[in-house]
């Protein structure tokens, strides 16, 4: 009999170690960040539909995925926790969204030693600034892991994880810019609602 999971104790919280394919399904759903059809999840993973569907149903039974509507699936808080992403409280969301002083802002570069003198002071500000910088700057930073490192310092582990997953897609140019902006904007809106703040997107 094949064991699907092994338990690792981290502090007092048991962490489930997922089969690779189940982890990939959850990561794909995390990056899509919306209710999706199983066939679209399989397509995004570049995998055959039947095995993905089988594992998806298993994830539903485990509580890692829910089906808000017939035929649509979305990752749950428990599913995010299985990927190492902690649940965010209202207070935590407020901290993540806070305006960062200049010395803690994100500064865009075109290359090592070549600053663009463009700074992002918050998630909302970041989404606006990536519209202004050259795509080569975005490629430079995403390859170095600079974006996910900054999001981690803000306390946003979910966004950091999404950017790492985006990097694996090997996008470039406007495709990369658009997907990154969309991911950041979605996260900003989600956190603003959680923090009970008004959403402002120019």
Give the Cα separation of 180 and 91 in Å (integer): 25
Average pLDDT value over all residues in the chain: 90
* Same domain (yes/no): 71, 94: no
* Same domain (yes/no): 18, 53: yes
Q: Which two tokens stand for residue 199?
A: 């959403």
Give the Cα separation of 25 and 22 in Å (integer): 5
* Same domain (yes/no): 68, 115: no
Give the Cα separation of 95 and 76 in Å (integer): 23
* Same domain (yes/no): 190, 123: yes
Residue ending a domain, choose from 50, 65, 82? 82
Within-domain flag for 202 = no
SS3 content of the chain, % helix, strand, coil (to 5): 55, 15, 30
Please tell me whether residue 134 adopts helix, strand or coil conformation: coil
* Same domain (yes/no): 176, 142: yes
* Same domain (yes/no): 97, 78: no
Q: Tens digits of per-residue pLDDT, 76-121?
A: 999 999 999 999 999 999 999 999 999 999 999 999 999 999 999 9
* Same domain (yes/no): 109, 184: yes
Domain CATH number, residue 12: 1.10.10.10
Q: Are 140 and 111 in contact (CB under 8 A)?
A: yes
CB within 8 Å of 20: residues ≥ 6 apart: none
Mean pLDDT of 7-11: 35
At residue 14, the pLDDT reads 40
Q: In the beta sheet, which residues pair with residue 115?
A: 109
Within-domain flag for 12 = yes
Give the Cα separation of 98 and 92 in Å (integer): 10
* Same domain (yes/no): 115, 189: yes
Does the pLDDT at position 39 exceed 50?
Answer: yes
Q: Are 100 and 154 in contact (CB under 8 A)?
A: yes
Residue ending a domain, choose from 82, 111, 128? 82
At residue 200, the pLDDT reads 83
At residue 202, the pLDDT reads 66
Residues in the chain: 202
Within-domain flag for 19 = yes
Q: By residue range, what is the domain housing residue 62?
A: 6-82
* Same domain (yes/no): 39, 97: no
What is the domain count for the chain? 2
* Same domain (yes/no): 34, 96: no
Within-domain flag for 55 = yes
Going by pLDDT thresholds of 50, 70 and 90, the confidence category of residue 29 is very high
Residue ending a domain, choose from 24, 50, 82? 82
* Same domain (yes/no): 190, 98: yes
Q: Tens digits of per-residue pLDDT, 159-201?
A: 999 999 999 999 999 999 999 999 999 999 999 999 999 998 7
Give the Cα separation of 31 and 127 in Å (integer): 17
For strands 72-75 and 65-69, give the pairing.
antiparallel
What is this structure's pTM?
A: 0.86
Within-domain flag for 201 = no
């Amino acid at each position: 009999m094949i064991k699907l999971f092994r338990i690792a104790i981290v502090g007092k919280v048991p962490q489930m170690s997922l089969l690779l394919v189940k982890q990939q399904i959850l990561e794909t759903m995390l990056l899509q960040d919306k209710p999706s059809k199983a066939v679209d999840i399989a397509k995004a993973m570049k995998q055959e539909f039947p095995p993905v569907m089988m594992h998806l149903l298993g994830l539903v039974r485990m509580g890692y995925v829910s089906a808000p509507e017939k035929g649509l699936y979305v990752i749950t808080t428990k599913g995010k926790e299985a990927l190492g992403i902690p649940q965010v409280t209202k207070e935590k969301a407020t901290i993540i969204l806070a305006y960062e002083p200049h010395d803690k802002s994100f500064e865009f570069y075109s290359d090592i030693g070549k600053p663009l003198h463009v700074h992002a002071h918050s998630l909302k500000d970041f989404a606006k600034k990536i519209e202004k910088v050259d795509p080569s700057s975005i490629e430079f930073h995403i390859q170095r892991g600079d974006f996910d490192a900054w999001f981690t310092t803000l306390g946003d582990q979910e966004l950091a994880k999404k950017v790492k997953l985006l990097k694996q897609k090997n996008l470039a140019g406007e495709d990369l810019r658009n997907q990154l902006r969309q991911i950041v904007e979605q996260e900003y809106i989600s956190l603003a609602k959680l923090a009970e703040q008004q959403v402002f997107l120019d």
